[in-house]
Copies of this chain bind each other. A is one copy, B any other.
Amino acid sequence: MSQTRETGTLGKLMVLLDLVTHADTPLRFTDILARARQPRGTLHRQLSHLVEEGLLELDGDGRYAPGLRLLDFAARSWARNEFRLVAEPHLSELQQATGETVHLGVLRGQSIIYLDKVEGRQPVRMYSQIGNASPCYCTGVGKAALSLLPPETLVDLLAGLSFTSFTASTHASAETLAAEIREIAEQGYAFDREEHEAGIRCVAAPVWSEDRTFIGGISVTGPAYRLSMELLRQWAVPVQLAAARIMEGMRVRLGPRR
**Does chain B have a CB within 8 A of A86?**
no
Of A55, A70, A131, most buried by chain B (CB within 10 Å of CB) is A131
Which among A74-82, A171-179, A235-243 touches the partner chain? A74-82
Within 8 A of B (CB), among A1-29: 2-5, 8-11, 13-14, 17, 21-22, 24-26
Output the least CB separation between A105 and chain B (Å).
10
CA distance A68 to B66 in the complex (A): 17
CA distance A80 to B115 in the complex (A): 19
Chain B's closest residue to A58 (CB) is B213
Which among A34-42, A46-54, A155-163, A182-190 touches the partner chain? A46-54
Contact A123 B121 (CB under 8 A): yes
Within 8 A of B (CB), among A56-95: 57, 59-61, 65-82
Contact partners of A73 in chain B: CB under 8 A: 17, 21, 66, 70, 74
Contact A131 B72 (CB under 8 A): yes
Residue from B59, B71, B108 within 8 A of A68 (CB atoms): B108
**Does chain B have a CB within 8 A of A109?**
yes
Contact partners of A123 in chain B: CB under 8 A: 118-124
Contact A77 B71 (CB under 8 A): yes
Contact partners of A61 in chain B: CB under 8 A: 211, 254, 257-258
Contact B53 A65 (CB under 8 A): no
Contact partners of A212 in chain B: CB under 8 A: 60
Contact B130 A211 (CB under 8 A): no
**Does chain B have a CB within 8 A of A200?**
no
**Does chain B have a CB within 8 A of A232?**
no
For A, the interface residue count at a CB cutoff of 8 angstroms equals 72
Contact partners of A126 in chain B: CB under 8 A: 125-127
CA distance A109 to B57 in the complex (A): 13
CA distance A125 to B115 in the complex (A): 12
CA distance A50 to B77 in the complex (A): 15
Contact B68 A77 (CB under 8 A): yes
Contact A66 B72 (CB under 8 A): no
Output the least CB separation between A103 and chain B (Å).
14
**Does chain B have a CB within 8 A of A132?**
yes
Contact A53 B108 (CB under 8 A): no
**Does chain B have a CB within 8 A of A203?**
no
CA distance A39 to B60 in the complex (A): 41
Contact A213 B75 (CB under 8 A): no
